[in-house]
A and B are shown apart, each in its own frame.
Chain A
Amino acid sequence: MVYDQDIKEGVHLVDINEIVSGSGPFCMSFGFDLAPLIRSIKRVGLINNPLLVEKDRHGFDIVAGFRRILALKSLGWKVIPCRILSGASMSPLECLLLGLHENLCIRNFNDVEKGMILKRLSLLVDKDDILDHYMPLINLPSHEPVLSLYLRVENELEDEIKTSLCVNKLSLHAAKLLLGLEQDERCGIVNLLEELIFNVNQQKQLIGYLEDIKQLRDVKILDILEDQAIRIIRYDNNLNNPQKVNAILKVLRAKIFPRLNESEESFKKILSRLNLPEGVKVVPSPYFESPDYQMVVQFRDGTELQEKIVRLSNNKDIRDIRDPWENNS
């Protein structure tokens, strides 16, 4: 518990150079946009003073208010009015919890920040405590694999990747998949995700396909991403974002599934030659795994249905519908 006597009386003006630069041991902020805070301080001034703790020898660590201090620095402030905690009476855990609870009142944490909190806690409390008490506090389920994932995100991912995670260019699931890759591979993939918007499933597909091709052809992921077909798509100004994403995934998929791809193209050609009535389509099962096909007929009334049935019955080309690999064998 923090008592009043732990906070030195009043607000103190602290030389900005005495505040340890960098995030410090109690920071839980990442991936934020400082601009709104800077604008706010410019307009109405500093409303809540940052909270600092004295370091052993000299200077102060930030307990709460990292962003405020960064904003004030960028505004050119040389001294900052702060509340000071006595370093002698405050344990690192108490400082961390002060900062945590101060933040919990006013905002939600992003996934990277949750990882930062859990890492800092893991140095100070035991795992069971983190699982039982602190994970629910930051809206995480009390599961060891979840804890492990967040710690790995914090410890292993590069800052640029964490930034992508914070701005939702990268999903947490995709970040987990990236953990299995080398640093340069990760960064190459994230560069693509910065350039084009892949949804959660598409991110998963992209990383899965890249890993499979890497394994299958013994090539580097960066080389796959530099493939000419992919480069052409990326720089094609006639394609919009969804078109580029789908085209890239299609190119990658064809590298892993050449025979499936060939069969799908072959089947499309068979269907295109059938001259089916409007509103009639032939649907294979996924991956042609079931031997059955379905014909879907859209119609307004019985008369239209009958007309379509008669047309289909007279269409001799329908007999060409078969498993597409049979055409190739």
Chain B
Amino acid sequence: MSGPAIRKIIVEPDAVRHDIAHSILNNLPGVPVHQLTENFTASEITGHGMGRDIIHLLSYKGDFLKPCPGTKNYICCGYQILNIATNCPIECSYCILQSYFNQPDLRLFVNIKEELDKVLDTIDHHPDKIYRIGTGEFTDSLALDHITAFSGLLIPEFAKRKNTILEFKTKTSQVEGLIDSEYRDRIVVSWSLNSPYISGHEEHKAASLTKRLEAARKCQKEGFILGFHFDPIVCHDNWKEGYSKTIELMDKYIDPKGIIWISLGTFRFMPELKSIIRRSHPKSCVLNGEFIVGLDGKMRYFKPIRLELYSFIAEKLKKWFANSAIYLCMESDDVWKNSLYWSPKDSKGLSLFLDSRVRQIFR
């Protein structure tokens, strides 16, 4: 199994008592390990920088299951995040995690096994509520799965709960842990996609689009339900040809009947990310566009540009498969209506739509 090269492991004092920590260490033989003491801080070992080649094992003190923060003034989907790790080795130039600089390294929460019961308890206490849960919000769900084996821990628990789905979202082709599992039910494997130009130019350590879609096909053949996320959609030269090409690739590899949802989200970012991207990725093109301040304070393309992007891609997807369940991420009611020709009206409406999709696909 390939994955990012790890040059160092930092272990916090309270991490050592967890089996997962030892399992991870065993999966990385020969990598130097720094055991932190109470007085020694990780930054003294990581130094400056994002620490994307450093694994940091710690016990997470917060809630493992949290609603996705979403954003005000736009329609959000009511997703839940299972917080298993933060930071990502893929190094996309547009990644919002770059602005969380006070917590470098690939941080893995090794107390997940012990805390999982609380999460499952919450889910079991609300049997009529649909929980759409994902692990890929603050990290890539599968980039380090060959080291952590988190998928093997989580899938059996979520596969048997009829009021939940667990989504693994990735830009890798690392699906071995999923394939090896005996479970398929209630699991969604999804890929972030982009135009070939953006994928090649801005998603530095991601698998190529072809490799992602080959992995998706493999998962589909194995019986997994798939999801896709065109996010962030970036307006660049020849973007129409680019996104058309990606959809053609999807047609080549994927049976659209096995897709639970496809989300579309144009590039949006907090203003402070701009200088970070300029500094860290001076050749990036993602900032080249008419970005205005949105109603939530995030920079977004000027609305007619977003409408054009969404309309074009949605139409292409609908032509491929008329019953595609397409939804917009963090958009306003009028943008929904003017690009998809319908709107869930508000976040509750979108949640209900996606919940109904879950019921439809996972009977």
Q: Kindly provide the distance from the CB of B149 to the nearest chain A CB, expressed in whole angstroms.
A: 39
Cβ of A259 and Cβ of B302 under 8 Å apart?
yes
Pick from B279, B287, B294, B305: contact of A259, CB under 8 Å: B305
Instruction: List B contacts of A216 (CB < 8 A).
Output: 288
B332 within 8 Å of A (CB atoms): yes
**What interface size band does chain A fall in?**
20 to 34
> Is the Cβ of B294 less than 8 Å from the Cβ of A289?
yes
Residues of chain B from 289 to 344 with CB closer than 8 A to chain A in the complex: 290, 292-295, 300, 302-305, 332-334
- Closest chain A residue, CB of each to CB of B302: A260
Please indicate the chain B residues that have their CB under 8 angstroms from the CB of A277 in the complex: none
B288 contact set on A, CB distance < 8 A? 215-216
Which chain A residues numbered 61 to 97 have a C-beta less than 8 Å away from chain B?
A: none
A263 touches B304 (CB 8 A): yes
Assembly CA distance A61 to B350 (angstroms) = 74
- Of all chain B residues, the one with the shortest Cβ separation from A292 is B334
**Contact between A289 and B292 (Cβ–Cβ < 8 Å)?**
yes
The answer to whether A290 touches B302, judged by C-beta atoms less than 8 angstroms apart, is no
Q: Which of B302, B332, B333, B334 contacts A287 (CB 8 A)?
A: B302
Residues of B contacting A288 with CB < 8 Å? 302-303
Contacts A216-B288, A260-B292, A287-B292 given; indicate if A325 touches B334 (C-beta within 8 A). no
Docked-complex contact B290 and A256, CB < 8 angstroms: yes
> Among B275, B278, B287, B303, which residue has its beta carbon within 8 angstroms of that of A289?
B303
Interface membership of A10, Cβ < 8 A: no
Q: Mark B267-298, 1 if CB is under 8 A from A, else 0.
A: 00000000100110000000110101111000
Interface residues of B (CB under 8 A from A): 275, 278-279, 287-288, 290, 292-295, 300, 302-305, 332-334
Contact of B293 among A211, A286, A323, A329 (CB under 8 A): A286
Residues of chain B with a CB closer than 8 A to A290's CB? 295, 332
Q: Does A258 contact B (CB under 8 A)?
A: yes
Interface flag for A36 (CB, 8 Å): no
Q: A215-B287, A216-B288, A291-B332 are in contact. Are A259 and B293 (CB under 8 A)?
A: no
A291 contacts B293, C-beta separation under 8 Å? no
Q: A259-B305, A289-B303, A325-B304 are in contact. Are A180 and B292 (CB under 8 A)?
A: no
- Which 4 pairs show the lowest CB-CB distances between chains A and B? A287-B292, A325-B304, A291-B334, A257-B290
A287 contacts across to B, CB distance below 8 A: 292-293, 302-303
Contact call A257/B332, Cβ cutoff below 8 A: no
Chain B's closest residue to A261 (CB) is B290
